[in-house]
Structure 1
Amino acid sequence: MTVTDAPAQATFTSTDPRTGEVVGTHPVHTAADVDAAVARAAEAAAWWAGLGFDGRRTLLAQWRRALVRGLDALARIVVAETGKPFDDARLELVLAIDHLDWAAKHAEKTLGRRSVSSGLLMANQAATLEYAPLGVVGVIGPWNYPVFTPMGSIAYALAAGNAVVFKPSELTPGVGVALADSLAEIAGGRPLFQVVTGFGDTGAALCRSGVAKIAFTGSTATAKRVMAACAETLTPVLMECGGKDALIVDGDADLDAAADAAVWGGMSNAGQTCVGVERVYVVDTVAQEFTDRVVAKTRALQAGREFGPMTMESQSAVVKGQIDDALAKGATALVGGAGSADARLVEPVVLAEVPEDSTAVTEETFGPLLVVNRVPDVDEAVRRANATGYGLGATVFSKERGAEIAARLRCGMVSVNSVISFAGIPALPFGGVGDSGFGRIHGEDGLREFTRSQAVARQRFALPIAVTSFRRTSAGMGALLGLVRVLRGR
């Protein structure tokens, strides 16, 4: 459900990046609006937590079925606000629905009360551990995957027993509203999942609203501002930021599959993918053959057909700046080049021999620009892949050494002999290190991210020797120390 609009409230529009046509008008929610939404969510959270795992699983299954029934309609809203192809939008929704299903079905096993060993010294105690919901979780989402990415927080937070207040990107507010509306009817109108719309001030208000946690997805620069706002109230944060993901091609790789993965990973969604491929390091022995394949596959693409425009208009200038910087420093344009990013619809670009100090190598691109550099061996490929402050995802193509190479990469996720596959596996946690953020969505880690652990020790019988009492004696302590020396001193 959406927050009730106040009289004479300021509004803004969302537009289709392909045509500039207005596709929706939405309120600019104020700090007071946000606070009211969080207060309503707190009441809904108490009801939701009281349903228990079975009740929540049943309701979330109803939501899942409703999302499947309305998949195409929601996909059309995604297309209208992002400009991405219809089937890309539908794929995004399919993956989000799969994650919702997994989270609902695995919440009890992951979070429910379980017994743990008390240890020999505390054998008189029964120890249990469980994970309780936080209450109200604030989610600040991105525009590039306006359903799949925020649902990595929303679905898991709901499955863990929390209510959610969601602030979608100002570029895709209609997607957020439609997503929340799809659950409102099933929840009987209860404010379990609310949307607040607006710009940075609305997001900052959510950070200061007293929510139990903020889950943010966006740029590293914006993440720092979000953290600063949350620090004022000691609100914990989950940060999923940008990446500069590398793809490593070993000498024994399936080159056609590797080239296909490089082009898809770099160009799909117009390159606007945080875990998309931006850098390729290919060993010398297969570099020419691999590069020829990449060039042929890229030349077969057409901007506006296989992928859409830059959803955020200013991103074209970022891509153009990186292309110009790389070419000025000696890079070779194999596909496209200077002038390819002069409009909102950026043409696919492949650059080779790009200096490692070029911004096309050091800074996140978020556009259909692929850097392909030769390296003498895998060791150098790993060194260059790790030579960045980012550490989100990576890809490795190698028939024999894929797992070995993956283990050497400083990042949160790796796909071996495929691309971005980790994001589609609900059981795997998703997140990065360094400038790519911290905390995890998806999987068991993602469920626990939106809970607080509670440890309980219950005394089953009294020990014959009192050690945590003023009745303690020297003889009793002596006996305890003797036992420790026997058990732990060897």
Structure 2
Amino acid sequence: MTATLDTPAATESKPTFESLNPANGDVVGVHPIASKAEVDAAVARAHEAAEWWGGLSFADREEYLLTWRSVITRRIAQLAQLSHLETGKPQGDAQLEIVMAIDHIAWAAKHAKKILGPQKVKSGLLMANQASTVEYKSLGVVGVIGPWNYPVFTPVGSIGYALAAGNAVVFKPSEYTPGVGQWLADTFTEVVGGRPVFQVVTGLGETGNALCTSAVNKLAFTGSGATGKKVMAACAQNLTPVIIEAGGKDSMIIDQDADITKAAEAALWGGMSNAGQTCIGTERVYVHEKVFDKFVAEISEQAKVLKAEPGGLIGPITMPSQIGIIKSHIDDAIAKGATVVTGGSDAVGERFVQPTILTNVPENSTEITEETFGPTLAINPVKSMEEAIELTNATRYGLAGAVFAKKNGVDIARRVRSGMTSVNSVVAFAGVPALPFGGVGDSGFGRIHGPDGLKEFTYAKAITRQRMKPLMMLTSFARDAKTDKNVATMITMMHGGKKTLK
């Protein structure tokens, strides 16, 4: 929704939009719609701030980031309440994602020097006279476009790591959670004495497009695959590199020796928490046929306590347009022969969707092929783990997943085509700061978190320093035939031996 602020001078009025509480429609806040000129101005300020921020030592940046971490920690209840109001998620769930974000900020701050600072590398025999090093330099200004479903944890995976790597950041939060984004930027700005190292530009799609076409040095996007393609096209105008974290259709595989009670608990959380609005959540479950009935009975029993309602364990659907998509997927599955265990078509309300569990869902239904992003689970039996892996991988997505098995869990996980997999737990990898986070296929590319995430916001700088005269001068027009012969002999000795193929 757009509105106009009432000001004495109508010519000075500025377009705004409202963030609404999805549980009841109440206005949470009113925020400006940043124009292309305003976005460009913010990026220009960021480039100036990057000169200061990038010029600091790793230790100085670490101190600032750890102070920011402490500020967020002390005010966690305030931020959780704001997230609760803008997303509708339970306050406990809002706090959980903030807790994880705090841990990631601390990890990035403490490990940046070791991962990005100068490191010696071996020069090899040909260049034995050279001392070689590699280091990772900040890019300058990183643009971040964040999602509404995890408005703290997800963008901080880019923002915190980009800052730790020495970049300034301009963040465009989702129009559904602008207040959370502004809160994060405001608290960081307090820590750095008002310098515009981390700024927020609020607005709708046009503001996001303006950030893509601005003078940022890299852009990190989290959202739908369709929007990700638009982001890539816009960024291509300036050859701006991108990180894309798009959707998923993640599965959980349950072998016959799995702990069925724990597997059901994990599947229920993975599918229903945050009202199913989790890109790395569980949407498909493949269960060995020998324990299928037992699993369905167990998860059905556990699901009885779940209800989507104000103040309940499951909140509302944050984005109103998603309601129709969720219902269409449920209806399509039922029309094609799926069995309703709980929920169903009438589970979809105006703001809330009740937990829906379907079994024997046809593999060609949208409940299996498309991202639902709602509190639904499609549970199907499989004859073997081979079949489970084949069905899991029969998707254009490849973000995450989970495996429950006592004996072969890790072996199964390695064969799943995804960026991340948890064994005997769900989404555990997201809470490990040292692990990379990202997908393959239509789930995107690039990584946040861990050493890979720090390096994503840098460029590699290679340096050689001649420490003594070379035995053979190869890079000179004075090189003679004897030198050519000697180097040919040496390379033959090094690499010309026969290798027996096995």
State the TM bucket, normalised to the shorter chain. over 0.9
Corresponding residue for 1:149?
154
Offset at 1:299? 1.9
Residues 1:63 and 2:68 are matched in the alignment: yes
Corresponding residue for 1:357?
364
Corresponding residue for 1:137?
142
* Distance in 2 between residues matched to 1:24 and 1:7, nearest whole Å: 20
* SS of residue matched to 1:413: coil
Which residue of the other structure, out of 80, 92, 114, is the alignment partner of 1:75?
A: 80
Corresponding residue for 1:393?
400
Corresponding residue for 1:250?
255
* SS of residue matched to 2:398: coil
Matches within 5 A, 1:246-325: 246-304=251-309, 305-325=312-332
* Distance in 1 between residues matched to 2:172 and 2:303, nearest whole Å: 36
Residues 1:428 and 2:435 are matched in the alignment: yes
Residues 1:110 and 2:115 are matched in the alignment: yes
Corresponding residue for 2:3?
none
Offset at 1:487? 2.0
* Distance in 2 between residues matched to 1:352 and 1:20, nearest whole Å: 34
* Distance in 2 between residues matched to 1:343 and 1:200, nearest whole Å: 25
- 1:231-251 per-residue CA deviation (whole Å, 9 max, x = no partner) reads 111000000000000000000
Offset at 1:8? 1.7
Corresponding letter in the other structure for 1:8: S
* Distance in 1 between residues matched to 2:72 and 2:412, nearest whole Å: 39
* Distance in 1 between residues matched to 2:345 and 2:129, nearest whole Å: 74
Corresponding residue for 2:26?
21
* Distance in 1 between residues matched to 2:224 and 2:328, nearest whole Å: 18
Residues 1:125 and 2:143 are matched in the alignment: no
- 1:51-78 per-residue CA deviation (whole Å, 9 max, x = no partner) reads 1101000111110110001100011100
* Distance in 2 between residues matched to 1:485 and 1:302, nearest whole Å: 72
Corresponding residue for 1:94?
99
Matches within 5 A, 1:434-453: 434-453=441-460
Matches within 5 A, 1:338-357: 338-357=345-364
* Distance in 2 between residues matched to 1:9 and 1:163, nearest whole Å: 27
Corresponding residue for 1:477?
484
* Distance in 2 between residues matched to 1:51 and 1:121, nearest whole Å: 37
Residues 1:379 and 2:379 are matched in the alignment: no
Corresponding residue for 1:418?
425
* SS of residue matched to 1:73: helix
* Distance in 1 between residues matched to 2:241 and 2:492, nearest whole Å: 42
Corresponding letter in the other structure for 2:341: L
Offset at 1:406? 0.3
* Distance in 2 between residues matched to 1:255 and 1:213, nearest whole Å: 44
* Distance in 2 between residues matched to 1:265 and 1:308, nearest whole Å: 15
Corresponding letter in the other structure for 2:468: F
Q: Report if the CA contact (8 A) 1:125-1:457 is conserved.
A: yes
Corresponding letter in the other structure for 1:345: F
* Distance in 2 between residues matched to 1:465 and 1:247, nearest whole Å: 59
Offset at 1:270? 0.1
Corresponding letter in the other structure for 1:269: N
Corresponding residue for 1:36?
41
Offset at 1:466? 2.0
Corresponding letter in the other structure for 1:85: P
Corresponding letter in the other structure for 2:91: F
- 1:113-148 per-residue CA deviation (whole Å, 9 max, x = no partner) reads 010000011100010000000000000000000000
Which residue of the other structure, out of 226, 232, 242, is the alignment partner of 2:237?
A: 232
* Distance in 1 between residues matched to 2:449 and 2:271, nearest whole Å: 23
Offset at 1:311? 0.3
* Distance in 1 between residues matched to 2:458 and 2:193, nearest whole Å: 25
Corresponding residue for 1:466?
473
Residues 1:330 and 2:337 are matched in the alignment: yes
- 1:218-264 per-residue CA deviation (whole Å, 9 max, x = no partner) reads 00000000000001110000000000000000000000000000000
Q: Report if the CA contact (8 A) 1:128-1:457 is conserved.
A: yes
Residues 1:10 and 2:15 are matched in the alignment: yes
Over the aligned positions, Cα root-mean-square deviation in angstroms equals 1.0
* Distance in 2 between residues matched to 1:436 and 1:7, nearest whole Å: 42
- What TM-score, normalized by structure 1, do the two folds share? 0.98
Corresponding letter in the other structure for 2:406: K
Q: Report if the CA contact (8 A) 1:204-1:229 is conserved.
A: yes
Corresponding letter in the other structure for 1:248: I
* Distance in 2 between residues matched to 1:223 and 1:486, nearest whole Å: 50
Offset at 1:464? 3.5
Offset at 1:265? 0.2
* Distance in 1 between residues matched to 2:191 and 2:26, nearest whole Å: 32
**How many pairs align?**
486
User: Moved runs in structure 1, 4+ residues, more than 3 A?
Assistant: none
Offset at 1:480? 1.1
* Distance in 2 between residues matched to 1:464 and 1:407, nearest whole Å: 47
* Distance in 2 between residues matched to 1:344 and 1:363, nearest whole Å: 21
Corresponding residue for 2:216?
211
Offset at 1:43? 0.8
Which residue of the other structure, out of 398, 409, 413, is the alignment partner of 2:416?
A: 409
Offset at 1:195? 0.2
- List alignment gaps of at least 5 residues for structure 1: none
* Distance in 1 between residues matched to 2:472 and 2:357, nearest whole Å: 74
* Distance in 2 between residues matched to 1:17 and 1:281, nearest whole Å: 32
* Distance in 2 between residues matched to 1:316 and 1:296, nearest whole Å: 26
Corresponding letter in the other structure for 2:62: R
Q: Report if the CA contact (8 A) 1:320-1:342 is conserved.
A: no
Offset at 1:482? 1.1
- List alignment gaps of at least 5 residues for structure 2: 1-6, 498-502
Query: What percentage of residue pairs aligned between the two structures are identical?
Result: 58
Q: Report if the CA contact (8 A) 1:266-1:278 is conserved.
A: yes
- 1:53-112 per-residue CA deviation (whole Å, 9 max, x = no partner) reads 010001111101100011000111000100000000000100000000000000001000
Offset at 1:324? 0.4
